[in-house]
Each structure stands twice: as structure tokens, then as C-alpha cells.
Amino acid sequence: MNREQLIAAVKEQMPEKRWLHTLGVMETSVQLANRYGADPVKADLAAILHDYCKYWPVQEQAKIIRENDLPQDLLDYDKELWHSHAGAFIARTQFGIDDEEVLDAIRYHTSGRENMTLLDKVVCLADYMEPGRDFPGVHNIREIAEHSLEKALLAGFDTTISFLVSKGKRIYPLTIMTRNYLIKQIQ
């Protein structure tokens, strides 16, 4: 499947608004990859597929996680965390993507992880700051991203974690570990 066919396949999995978000993540991932020395072709591919399963019925996402030896602890946390792991699985099995770096960037775009690769960071940050995003603090994140990938990503995770705390929600442990890792990295 070529890039155009892949894009067409992604587009029909989601409403128009989410497709525009995906386009924004593609554009911003490539910019960040070029700025920070990641592979822009891999960044583009991961961005295209990163939210592939976002609008699938949650039971279908859960089924993929249960039946394919993906991290079972995800099922005990927010449903929002499931689409990234399901997406990486589908990227491999349905689209034949075998580049582990690209698969990891899809897999960890929501939670991040300790020792994130440059590509993981680029895609995760692009997901926070693409031009269509509009949440309090996004302008600040875009400004920081001009000089520090890690500081911008930390600002993003701070926003998410504060939001989850304000809603009284439980936080997936990997999300906290990612924040700790980023703080350590910028020291």
C-alpha cells in the first residue's frame, strides 16, 4: 500500500475533525523531526497512523489488547489509552508496517515512556501542539518547542496530568514515569 492509499484508509476510520487533527500531526511531526534530527519519513508515517483506532468501538479496542498479548493493565485505566496500542498492532498486522521505531511512536504517543526515542518524542509532542489544537497552554508549548523538545513535552504532560487530577481520574503509571523521565532529562 502506498502513502496515498494509506491516507485514504485512515481518513475513512474517523470523522472529518479527527482527520484534520491527523493532517496537523503529520505536518508538525515532520517539522519537529527536521528541527531535532529525527527521520521525517518515519515521523510522517507514524503520524498518519497514530489515531487509526481512536473511533473504533471501545470493545473492539479492548479485544485487540486482550487477545494479542498487549499490556493488560491498560484495560484497568482510561479507554483513551487503548487506541495507541491497538493502532500499533493494526499498523503491523493490517498494513504490514515492520519498522519498530514507527510502531513504538504510534504505541507510546499517548502515555510516552521512559527512555523515549527521538521519534517517540516528536510524534507525542506533535500530537499536543499541531495547529488545530486549542487548549489552555498550547501556545506556551509551541513556543517552548522552538528550543527544547523535552521541555515542551514536559509542559504537555503537565497539562494532561493536571487535567486528569482536576477530574479526579486515575493516571496510568507509565504517564507519571514519562514525566519523571522528562524532568530528569532536562536537568
- Shortest reach from residue 69's CB to Fe ion, in Å: 21
Using CA atoms, how far apart are residues 27 and 24, in angstroms rounded to an integer? 5
Site string for ligand DGI, 40-69 (x = CB under 6 A): -----------x--x---------------
- Which region holds residue 43: left if phi is over 0, alpha if psi is between -120 and 50, else beta? alpha
Residue whose C-beta lies closest to Fe ion: 127
Residue 61 interaction partner, one of Fe ion, ligand DGI, none, beta carbon < 5-8 Å per kind: none
- How far apart, in whole angstroms, are the C-alpha atoms of residue 79 and residue 64? 13
Query: What number of chain residues touch ligand DGI (CB under 6 A)?
Result: 16
Shortest CB 84 distance to Fe ion, Å: 6
> What is the SS3 string spanning 141-167?
HHHHCCCCHHHHHHHHHHHHHHHHHHC
Write down the least CB distance from residue 133 to ligand DGI, Å: 8
| Widest CA span in the chain | 44
Is residue 130 near Fe ion by the rule CB under 5 A?
A: no
**78 near ligand DGI (CB under 6 A):** yes
Which one, of 92, 96, 89, lies nearest residue 66 by Cα? 89
Residue 62: its H or E element: helix 58-67
- Residue 172 touches ligand DGI, criterion: CB under 6 A: yes
Rounded CA-CA distance 111/50 in Å is: 13
DSSP code at position 73: G
Establish if 120 lies at the interface with Fe ion (CB under 5 A).
no
Name the segment binding ligand DGI (CB under 6 A); options: 36-44, 64-72, 87-95, 167-175. 167-175
Of 42, 85, 92, 109, the residue at the interface with ligand DGI (CB under 6 A) is: 109
Residues 79-108 that bind ligand DGI (CB under 6 A): 80-81, 84
Q: Which residues bind to ligand DGI, rule: CB under 6 A?
A: 21, 51, 54, 78, 80-81, 84, 109-111, 127, 160, 164, 171-172, 175
